[in-house]
Amino acid sequence: MFSRIDHIGVAVAELDQALALYRDTYQLNVAHREIVHEQGVEAVLLDIGEGHVELLAPLGADTPVGKFLAKKGPGLHHVAYQVTDIEGTLATLAATGVELIDTAPRTGIRNSRVAFLHPRSSGGVLTEIVQPAGEAH
Ligand code: CO
């Protein structure tokens, strides 16, 4: 069902401060930076092998990541698995009783299509599935 880990999402209060760690100290390459209004974040993707680290800074306190930061502070936010058929994967997961936050895909970073599964049915881990733009359906 899942082909690989696409990225891990890390909630940060401030992107430039986080980049000092991930880009400058860890020496990861910045692949992309984008404001994703639909998710209320500014996101930076850094390359690590074939996967990525996704830094997420909230656009406001009333966004999901803003609320996460207020409640838990900065840190690991979600894990994202890559899929090739996001609608089919969502249907299969729903049929097996997995609780979906998104019943239909939303637009993610770099025009990917994404959907989140509820941590209640994913072992306490907020889980995202991602179909990158241009992937065969
Ligand atoms: Co993500």
- Read off the pLDDT of residues 53-85 as tens digits, 9 standing for 90 and up: 999 999 999 999 999 999 999 999 999 999 999
| C-alpha 48 – ligand 1 centre gap (Å) | 15
| C-alpha 97 – ligand 1 centre gap (Å) | 22
Domains within the chain, CATH numbers bracketed: 4-131 (3.10.180.10)
The pTM of the full predicted model, rounded to 2 decimals, is 0.93
| C-alpha 109 – ligand 1 centre gap (Å) | 8
| C-alpha 133 – ligand 1 centre gap (Å) | 14
Q: 79-93 as b/e, with b when 16 or more CB fall inside 10 Å?
A: ebbbbeebeebbeeb
Q: Are strands 127-131 and 75-82 parallel, antiparallel or unpaired?
A: parallel
> Over the stretch 13-40, which tens digit does the pLDDT of each residue have?
999 999 999 999 999 999 999 999 888 9
